[in-house]
Structure formats: C-alpha cells, structure tokens
Amino acid sequence: MSFSTISVIGLGYIGLPTAAAFASRQKRVVGVDVNQHAVEIINRGEIHIVEPDLASVVKTAVEQGYLSATTTPVEADAYLIAVPTPFKDRHEPDMVFVESAAKSIAPTLKKGSLVILESTSPVGSTEQMAEWLAEMRPDLSFPQQVGEAADVNIAYCPERVLPGQVMVELIKNDRVIGGMSPVCSARASELYKIFLEGECVVTNSRTAEMCKLTENSFRDVNIAFANELSLICADQGINVWELIRLANRHPRVNILQPGPGVGGHCIAVDPWFIVAQNPQQARLIRTAREVNDHKPEWVIEQVKAQVADCLNATNKRASELTIACFGLAFKPNIDDLRESRRWKLPRRLPAGTAARPRWLSPTFTRCRRNSMDCVRWRPLRRRWPAPTCW
C-alpha cells in the first residue's frame, strides 16, 4: 500500500521537521497539533521554532500544497506520533501525551494504516500504544493479536537528531526501525525511505525503544564524568580545562567538556526511564543523573562566592551589581528552553545574592509570557551596560 497521505501528530522540534521532510518529497502531509497558534503559523508557511533551514522547506511545502496543519486528526495512510514524553515528580515516565495522541487518531484508522511512535519512550510503550488503539477500534486487528496478519501495522522509530542540525541529520542519519512484526518493520522502513538517505536498521519495538534510551544514557554518563572531574579539580586547585586537554592527548581517551549541568528534553530526561523500570540494576545511570542534576547547585555557589568577592573589591551593594548570563537554551543556536540549566541558574540568583541577572541570547527576540515574564533581558545585538564583574 502506498503512502498517499501522511499525518504527523505533534508539530514541535521533531514533528514539524519530519512533516516538512516528507512534504519536500511531494507527499501530502497533514500535521496535527493542539496548539492553534502554531497551526495558524504553519498554514501561513512560517515556523514557530528556531531550526536552521526549516523555514524555507516549510514555506515551499505549504505554497505547493503538500503541507498543511490542523488541530483535528484526519484519515491518513501513515501516522507518526512525535509528542513530548516528560517525567513526573519522582522521575517516572509520563505517557499522557502519547496516550492522548494515540486515542485521537484511533477513530480515523483503517485497514492498512501504519502507526509509528517516534517519541522517546520507556520500553514497552509501543505495545501499550497498540493496546490503546485496539481498545478503541475492536473492528480492526493489531499485531499483538494476530501478528503479521494485522489490519494495522505498528512500529517504533526514535528520532536521533541534533538540535540545530535537524534538517541535515533527519535525512542523513541511520534510523532504527522497531516493528511489532516483520511486516510492521518493512512498512515503516518503506515510509522513511521516502526521504531517508541513511540506512533503515530493523529490530523489534522493545529493542528500538531501549536503543534510544541507551544512546542518551551513554551521553549522560560521559558528561557526568566530566562534571565530576570539574568538582574534584576545583577542590584540588587544578584547572579542569587544562587537565582534560592534557588527558585527551592519550590516543584512547576522549573526555567531554564539563558544564553547568545537562539540559534539553532528551539527555536530561531519558535516563530516568531506564532507572524507573530497573532501579536496582541502573545504579550507574542513576548516579550520573544525580551528578548532572546537582551541578547547577554547585555553579550557584561559585557565583555567590564571586559576587561576594566583587562586593569586597568594589564597595558596592549587591543590588547594584549586574550579572551577565550568556545563553538561555541548553545549547547554541536553538530556542528550546526545556530542562535548560542555563535558564534555571540565573533565575535563582536574585534570592541568594540580590544582584541583578541579565540574560543575553541571540535566538530569543521577545519574551515568552509562560516562562520568562519574571525577568528582563535583551538579545545580543542590542547594547548593554557593562556587567559590574566578569
């Protein structure tokens, strides 16, 4: 069965680029999102997120009639679910958005439909999604019921792209395809090959789910090592940057750079999914998360100490000091504030120091009321009074 109409559920940092990639290959794509404002922006041929090269692809696709957006799911040949999967207060996975997305498309399914979950999810989530769909559509058969003879094919295919490079990596990177049956994997591979230049690597859904969690946990553990080194070096009076530069001259050593913690909606979140399901076995993964989550607290203490030194050196009051905070997002050239330690750090400074933090970022040109109305900041291109202390 060909894919005449493709529907992408969730038009955020992954969903919109994915929808645009399919539409750029002259496939009819209908994007679905609960955000009416985002839908209106996309239907004007514009974008509501920052991602290099995305705007031109969306503009062309909308103008040519291949891409449209709506708040209501429509019948399609293939559905890709790309919605957030945050965690709850105790670091347990919150699958409410996936469940809502699955149930929203259930009434539109037909024999021959393909449903792919792209959202980073705990092991077993694809099977759970299939159960939700089966409960709502008893008139159709699903892989967990009849295997390869299913009316509806289900697969898991995690995104593995770098923010700021999404439009390149989405097409070039290999994709792990985890079908609930060989037929499901084959159909999912056929779909992605519409735009994919990388290889489709086939496995089962549970392994594919664990693969994405493993990739991000590996990164998190390595970052935690670098961050822990920075704490040790500070205590020992050693320049951590010099230390890492020297250690990395060893041909089999490649230590990452320490930072104020780990941000973003992937590396800072996904390891907890493994810990939640395997708390006794995932001790290293848990420790790495704790190290990285603690790093902002350490940074705050360093800033407070520097403020104290600055006060002693200038005879000023704390309220007269200005602290320049460069960058808001969790990495350069994006506008994604999710789990950003750079954003959270300066927000906590006034209570502890009485100094005034000022945010400077090249990717934010206006205040977002839902997250930034409590601060004053300006983009980098505008002039700022010099910070009191550097």
Catalytic residue among 157, 200, 266, 310: 266
Residue 212 annotated to the active site:
yes
Record the tokens describing residue 321, joined without a space: 């000091």
Concatenated DSSP letters of 144-185: HHHGGG-SSEEEE------TTSHHHHHHHS-EEEEESSHHHH
Catalytic residue among 212, 295, 310, 325: 212
What is the helix (H) or strand (E) element at residue 353, kind and residue range? helix 349-353
Distances in whole angstroms, Cα of residue 261 to Cα of each of 165, 219, 298, 371: 22, 13, 10, 20
What 8-state DSSP symbol labels residue 351?
Answer: H
Give the torsion sign (CA, 95, 98, 104, 108): negative
The rounded distance, in Å, linking the Cα atoms of 329 and 342 is 6
DSSP bridge pairs for 93: 87
Q: In what order do the strands lie in the sheet with 356-361?
A: 322-326, 356-361, 377-379
125 in Cβ contact with 148 (< 8 Å):
no
Q: Which residues are catalytic?
A: 212, 266
